Structure 1
């Protein structure tokens, strides 16, 4: 597949924003609005529809047509967030994007998100960056007290991730940093060098952690930057509860029982 190159080819950072999506008709519209109204709009978007049955892909296509955007929808039939993210990433690279930023369809990037991503790649030596992920206030009711509590939980998770056995070892060139799949960016050359997101389902692996550790095996040019902010849905916590959700993110130390869905949709 061939996509047109982003505008302003003279820029050092030609950014592609990739979004894997499955049955996100309820939330993806707000993401598209958040991307369309970024402070820096010089980027292209590739949304990968991972076999949705609720019209997600059509919602994106209608949004692109309505606003005349240089954005694209690709389709990946192999189930899996990793597979969908990788398909979107490789489509963006084929279009000439030198750097990739990823978020998810249930998220809201801050207005300066793409500008911050570009600044980090031009003003630091990092070739792989993660940002701060906060809870959304507009999805499922999150009052002030619960919001502060969930932010504290996120800080705890960031701190704890470095102690998990799978994130430690002499094979890594630097310390572990928790880089969430809904708020990360990577140089295209490095993405291809490490093999990209594993083309697997969420039931099998956390593709964001796998990408982080693949990067750590080949370079120490990575980091967590709190100025790069995305807000995410807390629906998994709403459905599973906090303890089970944290155990799930900590290397699938919790798994739902037989017949229960891993892909949480309210």
Structure 2
């Protein structure tokens, strides 16, 4: 089979601190990526100025504007506009690792993976005091066969995923654009409902910012609630999933406490850094709904 083409879609909203590194990492694999579509969702900071510099540097980078607010709208606009056979999706704070694009294309280009409609990968956090620990944990899970290894899963990580264009075309009218759900989980469950396989690839790796760990627990509880709403939307809410969401929220409190005093610029904990205003990540849902 011929190697399929790959587009990379990056939804953005006020990402001036991250988008430059994201695009630089993607362009380092420009030979494997046909186009990089940055979908701006109404940024008011210097995000667009930074992206325009990359547009001037490479004909493969383009900006698409989506005025309807919400990451689902931005993602959908990018997916619809992309021209490749495979649609890769990363967040603005994702930094794809070397070989990311090739691993996606090689896997989805095989004859024995024709039934796989989407893939997701693994990640680690840069600027985190626990990067080494997380890296060790992920490697152990790979060895145990729990992570990666082309295992079939029922979820997609929006910061690191790809879907066949042909599959997207069949489900694009079925995914939700509600502002208070997890759009990546919604897409995954839509695929599962249609018996489309999702695989997790070991070599499809990105580094991401640990900024979500800085979300105050009260605000993060609304993020957890949106997960519940997404599961309910697909009839997948059970006692087991409810317990998993409670554990996730409790674990987030621990991460928040451990990350707040950490200064990534020095690689140390400090009371001075703890006193700084909270630098929470804007959650990819509308918590006011």
Q: What's the TM-score once normalised by structure 2's chain length? A: 0.67
> Does the 8 A contact of 1:48 with 1:85 survive in 2?
yes
Alignment partner, residue 19 of structure 1: 10
**Paired position in structure 1 for 2:177:** 199
Task: State how 1:170-189 maps to structure 2 within 5 Å.
Answer: 177-189=154-166
Q: Name which of 33, 38, 53 aligns with 2:44.
A: 53
Moved more, 117-126 or 100-109: 117-126
Look up the match of 1:208.
184
Say which one has the larger Rg. 2
Q: Given that residues 11 and 40 in structure 2 are in contact (C-alpha distance below 8 angstroms), is that contact kept between their aligned partners in structure 1?
A: yes
- Residue of 108, 113, 116 corresponding to 2:103: 116
Query: Tell me, which stretches of 5 or more residues in structure 1 are unaligned?
Result: 1-9, 160-174, 256-260
Q: Structure 1 residues 216 and 235 mapped into 2: Cα distance closer, same or farther (>3 Å)?
A: same
Which structure dedicates a bigger proportion of its chain to helix? 2
* Pairs aligned (count): 223
Residue 240 of structure 1 is matched in structure 2 by 216
Structure 2 Cα separation of the partners of residues 248 and 134 of structure 1: 25
Task: Report what 1:84 is aligned to.
Answer: 74
- Paired with 2:58 and 2:207, the residues of 1 have a C-alpha distance of 26
Looking at structure 2, the residues matched to 209 and 104 of structure 1 have their Cα atoms a distance apart, in angstroms, of: 15
Q: 1:100-122: CA deviations, max 9, x gaps? A: 01000011111111111101111
| Partner Cα distance (2:104, 2:70) in 1 | 26
Cα offset, 1:176, TM superposition: 5.0
| TM-fit CA distance, 1:73 | 0.3
Considering Cα pairs closer than 8 Å and 6+ residues apart, tell me whether 1 or 2 has the greater RCO: 1
- State the match for 2:282 in structure 1: 263
Q: Which moved more, 1:28-37 or 1:190-199?
A: 190-199
Q: What CA distance in whole angstroms lies between the structure 2 residues aligned with 1:223 and 1:200?
A: 26
SS at match of 1:251: helix
Q: Matched residues in 2 for 1:239 and 1:208: separation?
A: 19
TM-align CA RMSD: 3.3
Decide which of 24, 32, 36 is 2:23's aligned counterpart. Answer: 32
Give, in angstroms, the shift of residue 264 of structure 1.
4.9
Structure 2 residues not aligned, in runs of 5+: 147-151, 230-244, 250-279, 285-289
